Structure 1
Amino acid sequence: MGPWALRAALLCLGGALVFSELHSPHRDSPTPAQEEASKPGPEARAPEEEEPFTKGCGIAPLRGALEGSRIIGGTRAAAGAWPWLVSLQVQDGDFLVHICGGALVRERWVLTAAHCTKEASDPLKWRAVMGTNDLSRRRSHIKNIQVVAIITRPDFILETFVNDIALFRLRKAVRYNDFIQPICLPFGVFQKLDQNTECFISGWGRTKEEGNGTNILQEAKVHFISREVCNSERSYGGVIPSTSFCAGHENGTFDTCRGDSGGPLMCYLPEYRRYFVMGITSYGHGCGRRHFPGVYSGPAFFQPWLTEHFSRGSTMRVFHADVGLGQILVALGPVILLGVT
């Protein structure tokens, strides 16, 4: 496994990601996935649609639109600062353990990274906790909802993090309030992302590479980094997937780390006065290292796949999920289970 994947084990809490049934890339001869990764990046081609967002998304009632500074080098996030941020947790005995972040994009859908699902394949073991900035405290506005389906891209490749995107379907619809709101998907606006766009990262992950996670939500301001810079020889050396991109700081001042996987890269577009989930925290080489910023999977490049599942989920009691390598589909009434064999 190449150096670009070293932070895979750091991005999720709860265990190593080891899958012997998947083929490891060879350093001497690139795999098809690695060849695909060297193609032009997302800034060169961005999907469009007439309506870039659904009504009511991307607005944080308790936060000023451009306030805020997480994470590596970040500060504590105020309650309600990021009302779409979700802590995806797995049941471990009598306890729930934070594994990854996620973003609420519809009342029953959470967007996250596909590699997070390798920690536990049974959706019924997962819980989506939202409406809080402190995982150690219970408040009336905090919601803890069971997951009933995990849907990953069937062409996701763990070694190269190509197509690192997944959807979690919740058992029941979320009722929005000041602390729980959906973030806008970037359909039709992704091409507006550049170095001047104000973007933020937030999560409960490690605050330094060899440090511990935190119960208090952290946040930091970052910026988009061009493919020319991030895929250069002194950085990731041409291995960034074509549907991913980089964000952070070239000197590593602010970055995501272990436990932040799946969380959103949240970018504010003043012309819409809304936040958009431009990226999903995917991987990186270490945490906060110079020339190795975080790599984010771009939801805009999966628009047909995402909208198809949103449509299926809203019209069908039992819907069929795409099944990836090593997964089996079991439908029990309204519940879909995806397991790794």
Structure 2
Amino acid sequence: MSKIIGGREAVPHSHPYIAYLWINTTEKTKKKCGGFLVHEDFVLTAAHCWRRSITVILGARDIDEQEMTQQVIPIRKAIPHPYFKRKSFNDIMLLQLEKKAKLNAEVSLLKLPSGHSQVTPGMVCSLAGWGCIDQNISTSKLHEVQLEIQKDKECLSHFKRPYDSTTKICVGNPKEKKYGLQGDSGSPLVSKNVAQGIVSYGKMEGTPPNIYTRISSFLCWIKTTMKLFKLQGQD
């Protein structure tokens, strides 16, 4: 998904965990994604954002400006989930940074959920990203939107692809014109300062509901993978 529709410009650095993924691609269309810092040297994002060359930008408000708060860090390793299938299953990826981010007021970690933590229909969560703010109107400034969790049946009836409620979250009220799209892929769905979901996919026109990866289902993989690659980096 690459737009935030129906949102507003975010207060500068009110989402200090957010990461902009600068993706070098040979494709005609520019590829961009979001992500979020979960450890000093790891960013979590969507697996469908994978490309051979990715640079992470932290601490940004306006991505077109060279701000003093920005930390630009290449990635050492992109680690998509081993059972990822294009935009359908296990759409989650860790990016190991070449060096640790410097944590401060503009750059900080976002908490992962506990294993029993769940979002339920009717809950309102936040999403931030640098996607379009209206159809075909792009922005370089970080925007945010509030989105409502939906019942699983909304996504079961909305999509032809298989929908597994144990690994996915149905997000966005169909009656409201508020949603995220492609440039926001990989950005976190946040509830009470905890990451609960990752923007994954939706309809081409972007109308809600949309589907997010359920982070709590992948905690074991996230923690095991970070530990493994941190140890390898010490060799």
**Alignment TM-score > 0.5, same fold:** yes
Structure 1 Cα separation of the partners of residues 110 and 14 of structure 2: 12
1:113·1:281 contact (CA, 8 Å) conserved in 2?
Answer: yes
Distance in 1 of aligned mates of 2:47 and 2:7: 25
Contact 1:197/1:224 (<8 A) preserved: yes
Larger radius of gyration: 1
The structure 2 residue matched to 1:133, chosen from 61, 64, 77, is 61
Contact map agreement 2:154 2:170 (CA 8 A) in 1: no
Aligned mates of 2:71, 2:206 — CA distance in 1: 32
RMSD over aligned Cα atoms: 2.1
The residue number in structure 1 matching 2:83 is 155
Residue in structure 2 matched with residue 264 of structure 1 by the alignment: 188
CA distance in 2, matches of 1:217, 1:189: 31
Provide the residue aligned with 2:127 in structure 1. Answer: 201
Q: Distance in 2 between matches of 1:72 and 1:262?
A: 16
CA contact (8 A) 2:38 2:112 kept: yes
Q: Is structure 2 residue 25 aligned with structure 1 residue 102?
A: no
The size of the alignment, in residue pairs, is: 231
Partner of 1:272: none
Which residue pairs with 1:179 in the alignment? Answer: 106
How big is each residue's C-alpha offset from its partner over 1:196-237, in whole Å with a ceiling of 9 and x where there is no partner?
A: 4331011111223x41432011111111111123213xx225
Instruction: Select 2:231's aligned residue among 315, 332, 339.
Output: 315
Assess if the C-alpha contact under 8 Å between 2:36 and 2:188 holds in 1.
yes
Alignment partners' CA distance in 2, 1:239 and 1:266: 24
Residue 298 of structure 1: CA displacement?
1.0
Deviations 1:25-83 (A, max 9, x none): xxxxxxxxxxxxxxxxxxxxxxxxxxxxxxxxxxxxxxxxxxxxx71011001111101
Matches within 5 A, 1:72-83: 72-83=5-16
Question: In structure 2, what is the equivalent of residue 49 of structure 1?
Answer: none
In the alignment, which residue of structure 2 is the partner of 1:146?
A: 74
Partner residue of 2:139?
214
Partner residue of 1:241 out of 161, 164, 167: 164
User: Where does structure 1 lack aligned partners over 5 or more consecutive residues?
Assistant: 1-10, 13-69, 269-274, 319-333, 335-341
Q: Alignment partner for residue 196 of structure 2, among 278, 283, 303?
A: 278
Q: Over residues 299-337 of structure 1, what are the superposed CA-to-partner deviations in whole Å (9 max), with x where a residue is unaligned?
A: 11111111111211333326xxxxxxxxxxxxxxx7xxx
C-alpha contact (below 8 Å) 2:198/2:214 kept by paired residues:
yes
Matching residue's letter, 1:136 = D
Retained in 1: the 8 A contact 2:124–2:148? yes
For residue 229 of structure 1, the aligned residue among 144, 150, 154 is 154
Displacement of 1:128 after TM fit? 0.4
C-alpha separation between the residues in 1 aligned to 2:140 and 2:205? 19
Aligned equivalents of 1:92 and 1:162: distance in 2? 24
Whether the aligned pair in 2 keeps the contact of 1:207 and 1:257 (CA below 8 Å) is no
Number of the residue aligned with 1:326: none
Alpha-carbon separation, structure 1, partners of 2:200 and 2:24? 23
Matches within 5 A, 1:28-177: 71-91=4-24, 99-117=32-50, 120=51, 122=52, 125-158=53-86, 161-177=88-104
TM-score normalised by structure 1 residue count: 0.63
Measured after TM superposition, the shift of residue 239 of structure 1 is 2.4
Q: Secondary structure at the match of 2:85?
A: coil
Q: 1:245 to 1:278 in 2, by over 3 A?
A: same
Secondary structure, in 3 states, of the residue corresponding to 1:179?
Answer: coil
Q: Which has the higher strand share?
A: 2
Distance 2:32 2:224 in 1: 27
1:39 maps to what in 2? Answer: none
**d(CA) in 2 for partners of 1:92, 1:302:** 28
Q: d(CA) in 2 for partners of 1:262 and 1:254?
A: 17
Give distance in 2, aligned partners of 1:246 and 1:99. Answer: 23
Q: Any idea what SS the aligned residue of 1:303 has?
A: helix
